[in-house]
Amino acid sequence: MTQPKTTQLVSALAAKIADKTARVGIIGLGYVGLPLISAFTNAGLKCLGFDVDAEKVELLKQGRSYIRHIPSERIADWIQRGVLDPTSDMSRLSEADALLICVPTPLNESRDPDLQYIESTARSIAAVLRPGQLIILESTTYPTTTRDVMVPILNKNPHGLVCGRDFFAAFSPEREDPGNPNYTAAGIPKVVGGTDDASGDLACALYAHAIVRVVRVDNAEIAEACKILENTYRAVNIALVNELKMLFDRMGIDIWKVVDAAKTKPFGFQAFYPGPGLGGHCIPIDPFYLSWLARRQGMSTRFIELAGEVNTSMPRYVVSRVAEFLNDRSRAVRGSRICILGMAYKKDVDDPRESPSFELMELLLHQGAILTYSDPHVPALPKMRHYHLPAMQSSPLTAEFLASQDCVLISTDHSAFDYDFIVQHSSLVVDTRNATKHVTSHRDRIFRA
């Protein structure tokens, strides 16, 4: 293919993007994919939604949501207006002008990056790839993944199409804050880096329709490293306050009041808060991509490794504190009735990914506790890759139920919980989130962990 042909392909796709006739394919219809669909459809573009989970696809076709902050009414509106066409048929990937990959990137058992979902998605695209398509990876990963992992797979397509000549590739890290109405997918600036100038231009033009601000960087590697830096920064600082919490607990100092005092400084300090462990897809996982990459370069990332050790130790610390508080009441963990409040990884969402609540549950079960949980956003305990827990349903927080528990452990501080009511009817409340700070009565029943 000659250079003028490439120019024609770029011009044709740029024109489609400019007049909003470009069809956007979103691969992975989860906590990243659905908000992106919302952003693009609101901007006047039509979307194809791809997911290997046929149950999700069927729910979307019926106008039903499975993510709390994306209401069913919005899904139904997309379907009714014909701006979203959900499918599990990967042969239809060729119908999209731009394909955005939003698939999971977990760690394997040895805490190395597991790119199987990116690789399988790239193979599916390669099988039906056509000239002039734009492929954008959004899944969080380590620097060089787009160029060295995804693009070579795409280049193995049956038609001999070559990236940068016949099709285009870029990386733009997902930035999501589920449950926070102030930061929607459309309202968070988007970092974009192409594998070449044309790819970067096309990706920026596409996102400019739907996102409040597009931040162009020199290449895909900078965009990939940007995301890792953002989440490693948070992981290290959370580890710092978690470690200080353990120290200050021993000294009888309230870490929450310390942080509140420190954040009155208008410069040089950003508040981070302790908790029972890290949750969500990003912070517990992404820094390990960087430490893995450093090992490949013959280096060690001591801050990251130490932060990982501190953060992953927090569930065990919480369980040890629960055991202490029960022991003060002449009870052992074994045989005690313990209710965990909150299985989602953060406040007011239904996302259980990497939630420390599952680790707490497994540790407490191993010590012989009689466990229940309550979470208005997680009505049934989902199956998790790394945990083998019994089937369980969320328990209603009645006065009788709370009174029957030896300990109520607050792991996720959902707004829906009535903390005054919970403390009033419980004999022991262990609070890992400072959720009970405004409770004024029966404070002798509340302990921090």
The CATH class, in words, for 234-448 is: alpha beta
**Strand pairing of 190-194 and 168-171?**
antiparallel
Quick check: 1 pLDDT over 50?
no
CB 80 within 8 A of CB 45: no
To the nearest whole percent, how much of the chain has pLDDT over 70? 98
CB 220 within 8 A of CB 146: yes
Rounded Cα–Cα distance for residues 101 and 356 (Å):
27
Quick check: 69 pLDDT over 90?
no
Quick check: 108 pLDDT over 80?
no
In CATH terms, are 3-218 and 234-448 the same topology?
yes
Q: If you write DSSP's letter for every residue of 122-191 in order, what string do you get?
A: HHHHHHH--TT-EEEE-S---TTHIIIIIHHHHHT-TT---BTTTBEEEE------TT-TTS-GGGS-EE
* Residue 282 is among the residues annotated as catalytic for this protein: yes
- Which residue among 47, 163, 226, 282 is the active-site one? 282
- Where do the structural domains in the chain lie, given as residue ranges? 3-218, 234-448
Q: If you write DSSP's letter for every residue of 251-320 in order, what string do you get?
A: HT--HHHHHHHHTTSSSS-------SS--SSSTTTHHHHHHHHHHHTT---HHHHHHHHHHHHHHHHHHH
Query: Sorting pLDDT into bands at 50, 70 and 90, what band is 386?
Result: confident
Q: Position 193: which residue type?
A: G
As a residue count, the chain comes to: 449
The per-residue pLDDT for 280 is 61
The per-residue pLDDT for 150 is 98
- Mean pLDDT value of segment 349-375: 94
Pick the CATH number of 3-218 from 3.20.20.140, 3.20.190.10, 3.20.20.70, 3.40.50.720: 3.40.50.720
Which residue would you say has higher pLDDT here, 267 or 69? 267
302 by Cβ neighbours in 10 Å (0-12 / 13-18 / 19+) ranks as: exposed
Helices (H), 297-405: 302-327, 356-366, 399-403
The per-residue pLDDT for 165 is 96
Q: What does the block give as tokens for 216?
A: 């162009």
- Mean pLDDT value of segment 152-165: 97
Report the side by side order of strands in the sheet with 24-27: 84-87, 47-50, 24-27, 98-101, 134-137, 168-171, 190-194, 214-216
Q: What is the pTM of this model?
A: 0.90
**Strand pairing of 214-216 and 337-341?**
unpaired
The per-residue pLDDT for 429 is 98
Quick check: 201 pLDDT over 50?
yes
Q: What's the whole-number average pLDDT of the chain?
A: 93
pLDDT in tens, 115-126: 999 999 999 999
